[in-house]
Amino acid sequence: MSQRASRQAMIVAGVMSGTSADGINVALVRVGDAQGSRERSGTASDSRGRGRPRHIIKLLGHAEYSYPAKVRAAVLAAMNATRASVADLARLNFLLGELYADAVLATQRQFRVRADLVGCHGQTLYHQGEAQGFLGRNVAATWQTGESAVIAARVGVPVVSDFRPADMAAGGKGAPLVPYLDYLLFRNAKIGRIVQNIGGIANLTVIPAGAHASDVFAFDTGPGNMVIDAVTDALFGRAFDRGGKIAASGKVLESVVGAMLRSKFFRAKPPKTAGREEFGREFVREFLRRCGRARKQDVVATATALTARSIADAVRRFVISKSGSPTKNSFREIASATIQLPGPRSLILSGGGARNATLVRMLGEQLAPLGVKLRFSDEFGLPSEAKEAVAFAVLAYETWNRRPSNLPSATGAKRGAVLGKISYA
Ligand SMILES: Nc1ncnc2c1ncn2[C@@H]1O[C@H](COP(=O)(O)OP(=O)(O)O)[C@@H](O)[C@H]1O
Ligand SMILES: [Mg+2]
């Protein structure tokens, strides 16, 4: 392996905008290969990830920019649309490119750092990880918008974008991709870790103690902030429940939580992915119907409890099994077995939901009986809200170096794939 030229460290701007459609996160990250240390079999490489490099990943700065209200409304409308104007979607693509470029340029100015490369996730308008019949063929499909040619032209450096299709073309669901970073950052020889992100959707990555890349698995647990945001908007006219204050003043309607948790998504075994398709308008309408004439703050408290309970249930049912032996955690075996995460274990929280104190309290209460210690990604030097942006900086770095960065055990892909497309400045 040593004949390979050592890679220059680069500064990469990772740009993320998630399903919450709250705005844009930019992380400026120094990424490089650690000197002379390609991992050897038996440490963290394996049949699929043989010779994966060790990485240097250093966060230099992070900033967050809200979408202007009109843009947020347009993005949400496009996501939920059964019909949309093609002209508007084309214009939205170019407009988002301008906004992403502005966000990168502003972050560079703020931290007096210039990026050599941009990795931009884009705004997901549609994601269907499973193939379904369409016009006589079975196809899976995904669409992240935000024109990278515009970003490259404005920022003046190459841009890697559109990360998901290559994994799908290789047979994967195109998600989740962040577990690659989770694995690089949080693997531990002795401690089994669950890395839980609470964005619009909540997803977790399981990294058993001493895991190889192929032992990592991941799935969506259900709504993160999506339902909380929707009911807070509907009942209080606010985009989200800041600090979880409204939820803290309400009482949880346990019967509603129980009823919603019986829906198909929660019962399905991993691997599974969710989006607005599962927890958007329809789901919220059903949720509100079940809440009936409850007090407004009780409805928000109940939505918050639903997220906490669905995460804890997923951990209990699909990550920790009380009986049974540790399983080889291959993607396909997860469908028929639960995984034991023995011994000391912790759950590391990230995403905007980590700032909702009521949600965090509820989650802590649910996890304590499972012997899972709640921690924050901030404790590991990675601000909760920056993690996904850092992930796309690291993925872009891998692509720039023509290296695969999907985890087939997490996405279900048949092989590793070099992710994304490159736009040159
Ligand atoms: N201070 C806060 N208090 C409560 N919730 C917050 C706070 N800040 C962010 N959030 C929640 O986090 C969401 C955004 O989280 P984020 O990780 O950016 O999700 P996504 O990846 O889906 O964009 C917001 O919509 C909101 O619900
Ligand atoms: Mg966001």
Give the model's pLDDT for residue 341. 62
Residue nearest to atom 21 of ligand 1 (CA): 18
How many Å lie between the centroid of ligand 1 and the Cα of residue 351? 7
Which residues neighbour 257 within 8 Å (Cβ) at sequence distance 6 or greater?
A: 302, 305, 306, 309
Tens-digit pLDDT profile for residues 393-402: 999 999 999 9
Give the model's pLDDT for residue 152. 98
Pick from 32-36, 125-129, 151-155, 265-269: least confident: 32-36
Give the model's pLDDT for residue 1. 37
- Helix/strand/coil (H/E/C) assignment for every residue in the chain: CCCCCCCCCEEEEEEECCCCCCEEEEEEEEEEEEEEEECCECCCECCCCCCCEEEEEEEEEEEEEECCHHHHHHHHHHHHCCCCCHHHHHHHHHHHHHHHHHHHHHHHHHHCCCCCEEEECCEEEEEEEEEEEECCEEEEEEEEECCHHHHHHHHCCCEEECCHHHHHHCCCCCCCCCHHHHHHHHCCCCCEEEEEEECCEEEEEEECCCCCHHHCEEEEEEECCHHHHHHHHHHHCCCCCHHHHHHHCCCCCHHHHHHHHCCHHHHCCCCCCCCHHHHCHHHHHHHHHHHCCCCHHHHHHHHHHHHHHHHHHHHHHHHCCCCCCCCCCCHHHHCCCCCCCCCCEEEEEECHHHHCHHHHHHHHHHHHHHCCEEEEHHHHCCCHHHHHHHHHHHHHHHHHCCCCCCCHHHHCCCCCCCCCEEECC
Give the model's pLDDT for residue 276. 87
Quote the tokens at residue 238: 């606010």
Over range 126-141, report the average pLDDT. Answer: 95
Q: Which residue has the higher pLDDT, 274 or 49?
A: 274
Q: Is the pLDDT of residue 344 over 70?
A: no
Residue 160, phi then psi, degrees to nearest 5: -100, 130
User: pLDDT over 70 for what percent of the chain?
Assistant: 88
How many Å lie between the centroid of ligand 1 and the Cα of residue 393? 20
Report which bound ligand comes closest to the CA of 79: 1
Residue nearest to atom 10 of ligand 1 (CA): 352
Residue nearest to atom 24 of ligand 1 (CA): 352
Over range 46-55, report the average pLDDT. Answer: 54
* Mean pLDDT, the chain, whole residue set: 89
Residue nearest to atom 12 of ligand 1 (CA): 352
Quote the tokens at residue 36: 């002379």
Tens-digit pLDDT profile for residues 214-264: 999 999 999 999 999 999 999 999 999 999 999 999 999 999 999 999 999
Q: How much is the pTM?
A: 0.88
H-only helix segments in 69-220: 69-80, 86-111, 148-155, 164-169, 179-186
pLDDT level of residue 266 (50, 70, 90 thresholds): very high
Which residue among 66, 127, 203, 225 has the greatest number of ligand 1 atoms within 8 angstroms of its CB, and so is best to mutate? 225
What are the CA-CA distances from residue 408 to residues 179, 229, 327, 376 (Å)? 10, 32, 17, 26
Give the model's pLDDT for residue 124. 96
User: pLDDT over 90 for what percent of the chain?
Assistant: 77
Atom of ligand 1 nearest to the CA of 239: 25
Report which bound ligand comes closest to the CA of 356: 1
Contact 18, 224 (CB under 8 A): no
Closest of 20, 114, 117 to residue 64, by C-alpha = 20
Q: Which residue has the higher pLDDT, 33 or 80?
A: 33
Q: Is the pLDDT of residue 340 over 60?
A: no
**123, containing H or E segment:** strand 123-134
Q: Is the pLDDT of residue 175 over 90?
A: yes
Give the model's pLDDT for residue 328. 39
Q: Which residues line ligand 1 (CB under 6 A)?
A: 18-20, 22, 199-200, 225, 228-229, 240-244, 351-353, 355-356, 385, 388
Pick from 29-43, 185-199, 239-253: least confident: 29-43
Chain length of the chain: 425
Give the model's pLDDT for residue 47. 36
Residue nearest to atom 7 of ligand 1 (CA): 355
Tens-digit pLDDT profile for residues 278-305: 999 999 999 999 999 999 999 999 999 9
Helical packing angle, 296-314 and 357-367, nearest 10°: 40
Tens-digit pLDDT profile for residues 322-337: 433 333 343 333 333 3
CA gyration radius, the chain: 21
